[in-house]
Amino acid sequence: MLHNSDARFRIEGASAAQQQAVDALAQQFLVSDERLAAIVKEFRRRMEVGLAADCTMLKMVLSHVVWRPTGRETGSYFAIDLGGTNLRVLRVTLDGAGGATTEHQKFVLTEDAKRRTLFDFVAQCVETFLDDRSLRPAASAPPLSIGFTFSYPIDQTSINSGTLLYWTKGLDVPGCVGRDVVRLLEDALLRVGLRARVAGVASDTVSTLLAAAYADPAAQMGVIFGTGTNAAYYEDVAAIAKWKGPDPPSREMAVSIEWGAFDSDELAILPYTPHDIKLDRKSLNPRRQVYEKMISGMYLGEVARNVVLWLADQRLLLDGRSSDVLNAMWSVDTSYLSAAALDDSPDLSEIREIIEKTLNVPMSTLVDRRIFKAIAILVGERAARLSTVGLVATLTKRPALLDRPLTVAMDGSMYEHYPGFDRIMTETVSRFIPARQFANIRFSLAKDGSGIGAAVLAMLATQHSAAAAQ
């Protein structure tokens, strides 16, 4: 990496001490290709370990999804998409030509839901959705069939059951770890008088993959770079030593890598800075999800806040000033970094607004704002480059697939909104995959794929259980 000659990190008007500090940050945050290659190698090794046995760093969750949609299926399905920030309830109508229309309602997860009442909150939202549209089934009707996207790690025991391994993304609801999340949901729905049967439960990555596959037979991976991060891909069952069930006719199964946990507990290979370690130590899940903490939207603002305070404490930024807001954990939202990285105005007025109004620090100089922008770029660029570790390791896992067109379905706020994330990620992946094969890869935004994918899952599970019963 050429940080010394990289104009973005040469701060016009900075004192020698300030420039030295920014150089040191660039040194820490810019990860070389060589380092990335070494991390990819270790990631691949961990994937193999996870496919061979349970309870490893990369869980390689077997989704029991052994089908692909054809795109010709039709019907309306209910779906619940529980993410890290929002809950969406949907009715999805598959049109039989790879397209879908949705009726949906979005609810922001309340703090109480995140700490205490999650499944009751979900049930109440489902009730609101149905009642607002007069869709509540009569008491004598068969139970409502639902596809459930659950964006937290489960040990999946069947297409419609799985026990929660641990919470991620700031959730901490007691009484759930080790329990079947489908039962928890069905029971909560019963408490509001709704008889429902979850036809299928899946990670948001598997749902994103299924939504893309409904429209595009070349879809092989579903990836989320949002509040959290993870990916799923279709694996050859012959490569899944821990799979003890019968070989499916398709010989493939979607596997959710749970890659946010890469390097957890060991903290041995990722390029941690003291700012990451500080975040990790103070988080709800220390030493867990450490890869996610360097990449995903939930954490990047906090990494940047630690950097800002580190500079301020040395009087190299904001003349040592801070504020109650800036001193509070999580007060720097990752969206402020996106806005800062994008600010090209001569006096960096957007950044002034963020520092002086949003973060309530009374005054900033232009040099302060230039440094703030450099921090936003560094934290975002590192995230984009590290995100390629999982992508490259997974894409090269089944190299033969790269000899024909292959779609990677992507979703999440970082991918969609962080300036440069998409470009840097794609460019970095291209350095690790031969050009002939790279040309076959299409990264495509699968907007809200996790909602539509839950409906595709409900459709597939219902279809195949009906076929099995015949």
The contact set with ligand BGC (CB under 6 A) reads: 84, 151-153, 168-169, 203-205, 224, 226, 228-230, 258, 260, 292
At closest approach, how far in Å is the CB of 394 from ligand BGC? Answer: 14
* Alpha carbons 147 and 128: distance in angstroms, whole number: 18
Q: What is the 3-state secondary structure (H, E, C) of 338-390?
A: HHHHHCCCCCCHHHHHHHHHHCCCCCCCHHHHHHHHHHHHHHHHHHHHHHHHH
Smaller CB separation from ligand BGC, 64 or 352: 64
Residue closer to ligand BGC (CB basis): 209 or 341: 209
Residue 281 bears catalytic tag: no
Q: Which is nearer to ligand BGC, 283 or 364 (CB)?
A: 283
In order, the DSSP letters of 130-149 are HHHTT-PPPTTSPPEEEEEE
- Give me the least distance between CB of 82 and ligand BGC, in Å please: 10
Catalytically annotated residue among 46, 63, 68, 88: 88
Residue among 46, 91, 203, 204 flagged as catalytic: 204
Our CB check for ligand BGC shows the closer of 114 and 169 to be: 169
Q: Tell me the closest approach of the beta carbon of residue 227 to ligand BGC, in angstroms.
A: 6
422 is written with which tokens?
């998409």
- For the chain, the distance separating the N- and C-terminal CA atoms, rounded to the nearest angstrom, is 61
> DSSP states of 40-71 as a string?
HHHHHHHHHHHHH-SSSSS--EE--------S
User: Minimum distance between the CB of residue 257 and ligand BGC, rounded to whole angstroms?
Assistant: 9
Instruction: Give residue 220's identity as a one-letter amino acid code.
Output: Q
Closer by beta carbon to ligand BGC, 69 or else 84: 84
Judge residue 273's burial from the number of C-beta atoms within 10 Å of its C-beta, 0-12 exposed, 13-18 middle, 19 or more buried. Answer: buried
Nearest residue to ligand BGC, scored by beta-carbon proximity: 228
Distance, CA of 6 to CA of 408 (rounded, Å) = 31
Active site annotation includes 136: no
In the bound state with ligand BGC, the residue whose beta carbon lies nearer, of 19 and 450, is 450
In whole angstroms, the minimum distance from the beta carbon of 26 to ligand BGC comes to 28
Q: What are phi and psi of 3, to 5 degrees?
A: -60, -30
151 part of the active site: yes
CA dihedral 161, 165, 168, 171 (to 10 degrees): 70
Catalytic one among 46, 63, 91, 151? 151
CB 465 within 8 Å of CB 428: no
Q: Min. distance of Cβ 181 from ligand BGC in angstroms?
A: 11
| Residue 389 token pair | 């570790």
267, 57 in Cβ contact below 8 A? no
**Residues labelled as active-site residues:** 88, 151, 204
